[in-house]
Amino acid sequence: MAELIMAAQNGRVIPKEDKIFGISRRANEMIAEKGADAVTNATIGALLDDNGKLIVLTSVDDTFGKLKPEEYASYAPIGGTPAFKKAVIKAALGKFASKRFVEAVATPGGTGSIRNVISNYSCFGDKVLTSDWFWAPYKTIAGEIGRGLATFELFNEERKFNIGDFAEKVNALLTVQERLVILLNTPAHNPTGYALTLEDWQGVADVLKAVPAEKKVALFIDAAYIDFAGDEDEYREFLPIVETLPANVLPVIGYSTSKTFTLYGARCGAAICLAPSAEIAEEFKVCLEFSSRGTWSNCAKAGQSIIANIFADEALLAKVTEERKEIRDMLLRRGRAFEEEAAKAGLEIVPFDAGFFASVPCDNPEEICGKLEQEGIFLVPLAKGIRVSVASISEERCRMIPARIVAAMNA
């Protein structure tokens, strides 16, 4: 964007339009001109049906419709309603029984949890660490509160989690700063679809156990897509490993109801700490609530009431879980279809497990995406490749895209 007129630049590069929303706008313009059949919009970070319509869990929608005014119109407590906090801990941890001191603080979506964990567990000027394939808003969120973003290479040459580079970056940053916030988005990582294996997790724990005791680390597990990776219990098997971390490493789960309950617009999420002591848990709650008061004050109550009501009713919870399984299975089929066709077409993709997105490594993503746009295929160019949202297109279109990317690359 040209120089700002009244607003302060503060070192920021502010585009006129959000990149992904811009691509999506162009896709919609083409749909208006040429019709929906001519356009594949694989940019959207929401689960859509095969006709491009938003999927909403009907059991969640019904619960929303039954809310009483006091369940949405009045203010929620700053940290969230007690029933929501209890429910969201269950939603995040599933059957895992934590041996730690668990506290939840409500946040506007998963985004709010990222913001307030960074603001409370790092200092101005610090760098926050994440992988080199990352969700772009991490950088914006960190930058908006005077922090930078550093990255480690997510994959090594064997296409495995790059524990060596992770260790190197953690240790390098902790020689120049006293604290470190680490953002790990797993499972169903955005943008690659990767999930850390238990072996990866053990490696991460070993690296963090070796951090000098006087240094402080917050390990933020961005679990925005946790229930879209596969079996809900299996994908929580890493939690016991997290609980072996020493007292100077605080694990925090960033939970979002946006995808897991199809409540994207309700702006409902939570930061949940698995603290090693009651004091650290209490401090987490007090500090995050303080930051909430100084940013968005309290969060919207409707989403909190919906989640609380679902968890208060076993049959309703079972229905939500069953409905979610159906849409997850559809998403998994789409992801497999994309993977299969990529293999057939000889298209290298970044290690993929499951989730809303898959990525293709490439050196000229803007150029390839530009070519494909002209053919009606809208994808997202990233720094290191191209992101395909399998969440927003049909299985048939997931099968069609790999060969088209290969053709665009060879053209």
* Residue pair 181/128 in contact by the 8 Å Cβ criterion: yes
Least spacing, CB of residue 74 vs ligand PLP, in Å: 23
d(CA 40, CA 48): 12
Is residue 192 involved in binding ligand PLP (CB under 6 A)? Answer: no
Is residue 353 involved in binding ligand PLP (CB under 6 A)? Answer: no
| Dihedral of alpha carbons 6, 10, 11, 15, sign | negative
Cα–chain-centroid distance for residue 257? Answer: 11
- Nearer CB in complex with ligand PLP: 110/365: 110
d(CA 43, CA 391): 9
Q: Rounded to the nearest 10 degrees, what angle do helices 198-209 and 163-176 cross at?
A: 30
Can you list the positions of beta strands (E) in 302-341?
Answer: none
Least spacing, CB of residue 2 vs ligand PLP, in Å: 29
| Dihedral of alpha carbons 345, 351, 356, 359, sign | negative
- Nearer CB in complex with ligand PLP: 132/283: 132
Is residue 381 involved in binding ligand PLP (CB under 6 A)? Answer: no
- HSE at residue 10, side-chain half, CA atoms within 13 A, is 10
- Nearer CB in complex with ligand PLP: 110/402: 110
Residue nearest to ligand PLP (CB): 109
Is residue 402 involved in binding ligand PLP (CB under 6 A)? Answer: no
Q: Which of 71, 222, 289, 339 binds ligand PLP (CB under 6 A)?
A: 222
Least spacing, CB of residue 119 vs ligand PLP, in Å: 16
Q: Which of 173, 180, 195, 224 binds ligand PLP (CB under 6 A)?
A: 224
Is residue 227 involved in binding ligand PLP (CB under 6 A)? Answer: no
Within positions 127 to 156, which residues make up the interface with ligand PLP, using CB under 6 A? 135
- Nearer CB in complex with ligand PLP: 257/406: 257
Is residue 256 involved in binding ligand PLP (CB under 6 A)? Answer: yes
How many residues lie near ligand PLP (CB under 6 A)?
A: 13
First to last CA, the chain: 32
> Quick one: which H or E segment has residue 22?
helix 19-34
- Nearer CB in complex with ligand PLP: 80/110: 110
C-alpha dist (Å) from residue 31 to 50, 150, 372, 376 = 15, 38, 15, 9
Within positions 24 to 53, which residues make up the interface with ligand PLP, using CB under 6 A? 45
Within positions 89 to 108, which residues make up the interface with ligand PLP, using CB under 6 A? none
d(CA 211, CA 248): 8
Residues 94-124 as b/e (b if ≥16 CB within 10 A, e otherwise) read eebebebbbbbbbbbbbbbbbbbbbbbbbee
Is residue 258 involved in binding ligand PLP (CB under 6 A)? Answer: yes
For residues 105 to 124, the per-residue mask of contacts with ligand PLP, x marking binding by CB under 6 A and - elsewhere, is: ----xxx-------------
Q: Which of 63, 131, 185, 309 binds ligand PLP (CB under 6 A)?
A: 185
Least spacing, CB of residue 15 vs ligand PLP, in Å: 18
- Nearer CB in complex with ligand PLP: 304/408: 304
d(CA 30, CA 397): 17
Least spacing, CB of residue 256 vs ligand PLP, in Å: 3
Cα–chain-centroid distance for residue 91? Answer: 16
Task: Give the residues lining the site for ligand PLP (CB under 6 A).
Answer: 45, 109-111, 135, 185, 190, 222, 224, 256, 258, 264, 269
